[in-house]
């Protein structure tokens, strides 16, 4: 049974408007999967009146609010409808980038990868470099490379994931984002059983974090996470004394910063007496 997204009234798939609140009914995702993955809107054969850049910007903000509220499908549908209304290459790729982010959040790895690769080609082009503010461009390129690395890692393609995270680090070396890339690169080398490379990447990550302000990713301190992973790695290889030192440094980091220790960190740290 289909329900109106606005008022919750029962509706039929063939209706254009809800009879209860007059809300416009947008086709469901399964009816527009071909649109999401289409390489070019030129092939859609849909005629729409062009909208102004100000309208597009407002509509993108609306889609972002839906995204931030967890309404991924509504945000996706909103962006797809907007995609049909512009032929401007900058706006098209801006919308495609946001669609890729939604697909990433939905763990639709294959579809997200396709869109991110298309966006990467565009945002690395000379045209994009000339038209976009450098900070905006670098911000998009960072997330595209990072999320591509994440997608490859989740697909257990660790070599490809490592390549993306290494490129992230090399492009953003000396920044918080560079430190985060090193942390994820360590995850890749660890998954491949490369102890030395993993330890080196974690040490470089910790050093980079010390050179910058406190940095969080997904509600977790990058520096603390690196200490914890370093301890786990050393412990797994039988370096007990060195591992306990890393766990202590992780604990002392939280104390020094006056931060609460996340439960999943405390599960490990609570096994040790750091008062000695």
Q: Output the pLDDT for position 117.
A: 96
> Do 53 and 76 fall within a single domain?
yes
Q: Is the pLDDT of residue 234 over 70?
A: yes
Helix (H, G, I), strand (E, B) or coil at 65: helix
State pLDDT tens for residues 174-214: 888 999 999 999 999 999 999 999 999 999 999 999 888 77
Could you tell me the residue range of the domain that residue 4 belongs to? 1-30
More confident residue, 215 or 156: 156
Interval 218-224 mean pLDDT = 86
Stated pTM of the model = 0.77
> Do 17 and 43 fall within a single domain?
no
Q: Is residue 200 part of a domain?
A: no
Cβ atoms of residues 134 and 99 within 8 Å: no
Average pLDDT over the chain, rounded to an integer: 85
Interval 122-131 mean pLDDT = 93
* Total structural domains within the chain: 2
- Cα angle at 242 between 240 and 243, to 5 degrees? 65
Could you tell me what percent of the chain has a pLDDT over 90? 57
> Do 69 and 114 fall within a single domain?
yes
Q: Is residue 127 part of a domain?
A: yes
CA distances from 153 to 22, 160, 165, 188 (A): 45, 8, 10, 7
Q: Output the pLDDT for position 276.
A: 59
Question: How crowded is residue 110: how many other Cβ atoms within 10 Å of its Cβ?
Answer: 10
């Amino acid at each position: 049974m289909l329900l109106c997204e606005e008022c919750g009234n029962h509706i039929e798939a063939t209706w254009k408007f809800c009879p209860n609140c007059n809300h416009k009914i947008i086709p469901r995702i399964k009816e527009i999967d071909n649109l999401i993955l289409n390489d070019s809107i030129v092939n859609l054969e849909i005629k729409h009146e062009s909208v102004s850049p100000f309208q597009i910007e407002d509509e993108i903000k609306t889609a972002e609010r839906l995204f931030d509220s967890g309404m991924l499908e509504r945000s996706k549908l909103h962006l797809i409808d907007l995609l049909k209304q512009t032929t401007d290459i900058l706006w098209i790729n801006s919308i495609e980038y946001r669609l890729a982010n939604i697909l990433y959040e939905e763990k639709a790895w294959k579809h997200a990868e396709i869109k991110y690769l298309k966006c990467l080609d565009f945002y690395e082009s000379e045209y994009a470099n000339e038209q976009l503010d450098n900070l905006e461009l670098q911000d998009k390129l960072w997330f595209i490379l990072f999320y591509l690395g994440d997608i490859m890692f989740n697909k257990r393609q660790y070599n490809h994931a490592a390549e993306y995270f290494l490129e992230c680090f090399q492009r953003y070396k000396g920044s918080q984002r560079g430190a985060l890339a090193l942390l994820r690169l360590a995850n890749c080398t660890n998954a491949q059983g490369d102890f030395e490379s993993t330890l080196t990447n974690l040490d470089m990550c910790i050093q980079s974090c010390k050179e910058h302000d406190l940095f969080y990713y997904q509600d977790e301190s990058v520096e603390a996470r690196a200490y914890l992973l370093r301890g786990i790695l050393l412990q797994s290889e039988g370096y007990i004394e060195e591992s306990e030192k890393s766990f202590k440094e992780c604990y002392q980091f939280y104390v020094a910063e006056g931060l609460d220790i996340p439960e999943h960190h405390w599960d490990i740290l609570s096994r040790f007496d750091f008062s000695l």
